[in-house]
Chains A and B, each alone.
Chain A
Amino acid sequence: MSEIIIDVQNLSKMYRLGTIGTGSFRQDLQRWVSTNILKKEEPFFQGHGVNADGMDGNDLWALNNVSFDVKKGEVLGIIGNNGSGKSTLLKIISRIVRPTQGFVRGNGKVSSLLEVGTGFHNELTGRENIFISGYTLGMSRDEIRRKFDEIVAFSGIEKFIDTPVKRYSSGMYVRLAFSVAAHLEPDILIVDEVLAVGDNDFQKKCLGKMNEIAQTDGRTILFVSHSMQAVNTLCTKALWLQNGNVKEWGTANDIVNKYVASVQKHRLQQEWDTIENAPGNDNIRVKSVEIVPHLNNPNDMIDIRTALTFKFQFWNLQEHVNISARILLFSYTGECVFNVLSPIVNCFKPGILEGECTIPGNFLNDGSYYISMNFLKDSATHLLDFNECVSFDMEDYRGDLQWFGKWWGAVRPQFPVHLEQKEMVLDV
């Protein structure tokens, strides 16, 4: 077990709503009189009754008794809805704001990247900004000089390095800013959503850099993101915040799946009685979609051995069309696992069509999935896209296997794998 590098204990942060800041001079004076002269207890430090939204009268508890620890070399992803306290937590650990209660303690140098381009000044050239931004983020002069060429090369703007950054395109600005940040070498790195910048190529580069920092250098990273895929690939552990409370804390994959599953309730089936209220358009109206698991006991959980039949019915409202349906299965991180196409049906008159498709057991990996459908005319024109119509969870099943790590892979088929001992070497 490696050592604990950050220890967070009962961390709480209260903001007062309504007026800016702590309010008027009169309120401050009242509080001062009651705490310092009348010796009443500071209202902050009494037990507080917080309801589900983290509200306590006019006070908002952005964080409420949050405790966790981070070990050296861990990459902790922090996830949660907007307003769940993620940024507040990062700000407290970065020493930008102070907690109302509780404490954070730790070892080593902390650098935080809460935005791209901290300390940048528009009038200065790229070269000057590399230095001033580096200093602001806590780099030393030697460190910046040593890495200067690397930073410039990473950003890919060698030609413009002596141009004021106000003449940069926003993309160039972001690349330079991120490059500086990517070359920080703290013991603990705190990152907030900075990956949501730049073009696709650059984002990949950034993710790669983060991966490199985390894996090869063994540095500790705290990472807030809304991209479940990024959290899944980068992080070893994850912390799920909800209304300022710790909802779940554990291995990244586990938490991401739980979080994602909670964001959208699973729907195994949907049905509409009449054409009028069914979803669709003038071409197609969906009547029903349903996942039927092949289970002996309907109360059993769907696990990776379970075969699933996806059934659907829809109204075709046109005459003389060649209709086919496409079924797409997505994992909850947004990757398409497969897409299959039905045969074409010639419809002379409007009417109801029905179809089904069975996903065999022992094929999908464990995780959360959803199905989207496309209805096509002549296998090419999209008549209707019906996205995320049903969703389900695949529970893990290991049988006798004595290993409980995350099973890798998009799918988990049971192809026969052959293994035998070819020859024996007796005298080694």
Chain B
Amino acid sequence: MVAEEKKKWEWEISNQSSYWGTHFTEIWAYRHLLSSLVRRDFLVNYQQTILGPAWMLLQPVLTLVTYALIFGRLVGLSTGSLPPLLFYFSGIILWNFFNDSFGGTNNVFRDNTQVFNKVYFPRLVVPIAIMCTRFIRFGISLFLLLLMIGYYMAFKDFSPNFSSWLLALPVVVLAVGAMSLGLGLAFSVITAKYRDISGFVSLGTRLLMFATPVIYPVLSLPEDVRWIVHLNPLTPLFELFRLSLLGEGVVSYDMLFYSLAFSFLVLVVSLLLFNKKGDSLIDIV
């Protein structure tokens, strides 16, 4: 009898949930699910369209044309010394990356109720899969941006002053990714419980875009409103993105530290929250 009482159980389900939750070994065990979710996303999105995967390139280009017409021609916003198309496009692809990642991860529970209700797997697999697809899409857009920069350098007399800041590019991408995933996870938990908030979330992201130097450089702003934009932790990342690729942007180490710390903190806190609350949310979504 003593031996039986000491028996080890491989798993136990109780009302206790831990902040540390899912072990990474468990997610690793579901890596094939992750890759097939990524694959599914690409297959499903471009099924039965004539242009197929070309839409991945076409979407940012169409946005670029719209923005260039409205903000460049009609509103006449300054883009500093950079060619407007390059300026807008760099802003658009980074913003799209942030916005798509956040938009995808923030609806994880609502979009997957059906599956979450019927089978167990580490819930974190789904947001990670979403992030993977967004990284791939961003990579494709970035490639397009590099082609455009090459074109401008070859034919339009554009000579960006590349510096060692180019090495900061991966840091920017990772930080934006971390921040969008972090915010997405946090809001997925919050909106699953308090639905009303999702209305404010979509409004908030739209407002956030205007508080981020997507279509204007920070320097073009009047001094007295600049602090709002500087409060936004995305601002230094956008400026750094342009600085590294196009050679023009205003960023200080303090501000950079602020946004990196913010991204890291948001991601860690949200992961903990997601682990703690993720399993009990299925009762209420």
Do A and B interact?
yes
Q: What residues make up the interface of A, taking CB atoms closer than 8 Å to B? A: 7, 15, 20-22, 25, 28, 92-108, 110, 112, 114-115, 118-119, 121, 123-124, 128, 131-132, 135-138, 140-141, 164
Q: Which of B254-285 contact A (CB under 8 A)?
A: 279-280, 282-285
Q: Does the CB pair A97–B284 fall under 8 Å? A: no
Cβ of B13 < 8 Å from any Cβ of A? yes
Bound Cα distance A20, B194 (Å): 10
Bound Cα distance A7, B10 (Å): 12
Cβ of B33 < 8 Å from any Cβ of A? yes
Bound Cα distance A119, B284 (Å): 21
Shortest CB-to-CB span from A314 to chain B, Å, is: 51
Q: Does the CB pair A107–B119 fall under 8 Å? A: no
Q: Which B residues are CB-close (under 8 A) to A101?
A: 15
Partner of B44, one of A94, A95, A121: A121
Q: Does the CB pair B117–A96 fall under 8 Å? A: yes
Q: Does the CB pair A108–B43 fall under 8 Å? A: no
Bound Cα distance A93, B119 (Å): 11
Q: Does the CB pair A98–B44 fall under 8 Å? A: no
Bound Cα distance A412, B50 (Å): 70
Bound Cα distance A94, B279 (Å): 12
Could you jot down 25 A-B contacts, CB within 8 Å?
A: A20-B284, A21-B285, A22-B284, A96-B116, A96-B119, A97-B283, A100-B15, A105-B12, A107-B11, A110-B11, A112-B118, A118-B119, A119-B119, A123-B47, A123-B48, A124-B43, A128-B40, A131-B36, A132-B36, A135-B30, A135-B36, A136-B121, A138-B121, A140-B32, A141-B32
Q: Which of B114-129 contact A (CB under 8 A)?
A: 115-121
Q: What residues make up the interface of B, taking CB atoms closer than 8 Å to A? A: 9-15, 17, 30, 32-33, 36-37, 39-40, 43-44, 47-48, 115-121, 193-194, 279-280, 282-285
Shortest CB-to-CB span from A163 to chain B, Å, is: 12
Most A CB within 10 A of own CB, among B12, B14, B39, B285: B14
Q: Does the CB pair A98–B36 fall under 8 Å? A: no
Q: Which A residues are CB-close (under 8 A) to B37?
A: 132
Bound Cα distance A99, B39 (Å): 34
Q: Which A residues are CB-close (under 8 A) to B33?
A: 132, 135-136
Closest residue of chain B to A111, judged by CB? B119
Bound Cα distance A28, B194 (Å): 11
Q: Does the CB pair B13–A21 fall under 8 Å? A: no
Partner of A136, one of B43, B115, B283: B115
Partner of B13, one of A15, A95, A121, A137: A95
Q: Which B residues are CB-close (under 8 A) to A137?
A: 119
Closest residue of chain B to A102, judged by CB? B14
Known: A7-B9, A136-B119, A138-B119. 11 other contacts (CB 8 A): A97-B280, A98-B13, A98-B17, A98-B283, A100-B15, A105-B11, A107-B10, A119-B119, A136-B115, A138-B30, A138-B121
Q: Does the CB pair B40–A132 fall under 8 Å? A: yes
Query: Which 5 A-B pairs give the minimum distances between C-beta atoms?
Result: A21-B284, A103-B14, A135-B33, A105-B12, A105-B9
Closest residue of chain B to A132, judged by CB? B36
Bound Cα distance A322, B220 (Å): 104
Q: Does the CB pair A96–B10 fall under 8 Å? A: no
Closest residue of chain B to A44, judged by CB? B15
Bound Cα distance A103, B11 (Å): 10
Bound Cα distance A128, B36 (Å): 9
Most A CB within 10 A of own CB, among B33, B36, B118, B285: B118
Q: Which A residues are CB-close (under 8 A) to B14?
A: 98-99, 102-104
Q: Does the CB pair A106–B11 fall under 8 Å? A: yes
Q: Does the CB pair B40–A121 fall under 8 Å? A: yes
Shortest CB-to-CB span from B275 to chain A, Å, is: 13
Bound Cα distance A94, B13 (Å): 9
Bound Cα distance A102, B119 (Å): 21
Shortest CB-to-CB span from B86 to chain A, Å, is: 36
Q: Does the CB pair B9–A107 fall under 8 Å? A: yes
Q: Does the CB pair A114–B282 fall under 8 Å? A: no
Q: Does the CB pair B15–A99 fall under 8 Å? A: yes
Shortest CB-to-CB span from B27 to chain A, Å, is: 13
Q: Which A residues are CB-close (under 8 A) to B120?
A: 94-96, 110, 112
Q: Which B residues are CB-close (under 8 A) to A141?
A: 32
Decide: A118 near B13, CB < 8 A? Known: A96-B282, A123-B47, A132-B40.
no
Closest residue of chain B to A119, judged by CB? B115
Q: Does the CB pair B118–A118 fall under 8 Å? A: yes
Q: Which A residues are CB-close (under 8 A) to B47?
A: 123, 164
Shortest CB-to-CB span from B166 to chain A, Å, is: 38
Partner of A124, one of B40, B193, B285: B40
Q: Does the CB pair A98–B15 fall under 8 Å? A: yes
Shortest CB-to-CB span from A403 to chain B, Å, is: 30
Q: Which B residues are CB-close (under 8 A) to A21?
A: 193, 283-285
Bound Cα distance A20, B14 (Å): 23
Q: Does the CB pair B194–A25 fall under 8 Å? A: yes
Most A CB within 10 A of own CB, among B9, B44, B116: B9
Most A CB within 10 A of own CB, among B12, B44, B119, B279: B119
Q: Which A residues are CB-close (under 8 A) to B284?
A: 20-22
Closest residue of chain B to A22, judged by CB? B284
Q: Which A residues are CB-close (under 8 A) to B13?
A: 92-93, 95, 98-99, 103-105
Shortest CB-to-CB span from B165 to chain A, Å, is: 41
